[in-house]
Amino acid sequence: MGKSVHNDVLDAALQFLEDYADFMSACETEPTTYEQAHSNKGVGAGKALANVTPTFTGPADGDASGRKTSLDQKTGVTVDVTGDADHVALCDVSETKLLYVTTCTQQTLTQGNTVTFPSWDIEIADPS
């Protein structure tokens, strides 16, 4: 028996991220709470090293199947705290929610320098 999903269903999930994710942070280790992703390392349970307001392009057809939204590249983002970034988090500040966490290539960030958040995709595959 086959499986399928209409693009509108996948787009609704991706559109939710586009509508509500208004804070993107580079974090040292995986944040599991809003506080960790939104607060600077060294402040309470904070893990954030740098942050920026994300912008998106999409939803659109996925690279392999399904649908995706792309986070646009952000350059010249000031590093607030020195550390080793290995995760990126998306938060909804008004609702104090951690919405999405992914890994990134580990990079040592130095306070006062700048970092580039490259473009990246969130893709939801068709059911198989």
Q: Is the model's pLDDT at 85 over the cut of 90?
A: yes
Domain ranges of the chain: 7-118
pLDDT band at 16 (very low <50, low <70, confident <90, very high): very high
Q: In b/e form, how buried is each residue of 41-66, taking b as 16+ CB within 10 angstroms?
A: beeeebbbbbbbebebebbeebeeeb
Spatial separation of the C-alpha atoms in residues 123 and 68, rounded to whole Å: 4
Residue 115: per-residue pLDDT:
98
**Strand pairing category for 97-109 and 83-92:** antiparallel
Can you point out the beta strands (E) in 2-127? 23-27, 48-52, 56-61, 67-71, 74-78, 83-92, 97-109, 114-117, 120-124
What's the whole-model pTM score? 0.96
Q: pLDDT tens across 33-82, in order?
A: 999 999 999 999 999 999 999 999 999 999 999 999 999 999 999 999 99
Task: Answer whether 50's CB lies under 8 Å from 76's CB.
Answer: no
Confidence at 1, pLDDT banded by 50, 70, 90: confident
What is the three-class DSSP state of 6? coil
